[in-house]
Amino acid sequence: MQPTFLAASPFLPLIGLSVLLLVVHVMLQAMTATRELGLDWNAGPRDAEKKPEGRLTGRAARASENFRETYPAFIALAFGVIMAGDPSGLALTGAWIWLICRVIYIPLYLAGVPYIRSLVWLGSMLGLALMLFVLMF
């Protein structure tokens, strides 16, 4: 099988790293909920409406939800830029900004750090905006 132009894209490693970040979110949420509710709850069918109520567990869940709100946009923009090309590298810079900010966001959210966390989130939005800019203009 011959490699396509997609195989040479610098966005593919970023997409792979973003999937790893998604797995980190899922595992972090699961681990904190299991620590709070127990292994039997995690291994069971979870039929009862028992919800974790701990502060850290809630923060892990909300950080994961927040990530999943922007993740489809990142994937769509990354593949759009791969298809359209990015001669200036601006979209690639935006993708790295998004990924780095999303990694930094996790410990800030878990620690409950206000304002700085919001600035980091805005940084991730800037990264998506740079990617969109390349597609639009």
**Ranges of residues in the chain whose predicted pLDDT is under 50:** 1
List the alpha helices (DSSP H) in the chain.
11-37, 39-43, 55-84, 90-111, 116-136
71: three-class secondary structure by DSSP: helix
User: What per-residue confidence (pLDDT) applies to 3?
Assistant: 52
Residue matched to tokens 């567990």: 57
**Closest of 2, 61, 72 to residue 33, by C-alpha:** 61
| Region 12-136: CATH code | 1.20.120.550
| pLDDT tens figures, 93-112 | 999 999 999 999 999 999 99
Q: Which two tokens stand for residue 68?
A: 């999943």
**Closest of 101, 21, 96, 115 to residue 29, by C-alpha:** 21
User: What per-residue confidence (pLDDT) applies to 113?
Assistant: 97
Sign of CA dihedral 130, 73, 99, 59: positive
Return d(Cα 26, Cα 32) in angstroms, integer.
Answer: 10
User: What per-residue confidence (pLDDT) applies to 6?
Assistant: 52
User: What per-residue confidence (pLDDT) applies to 134?
Assistant: 94
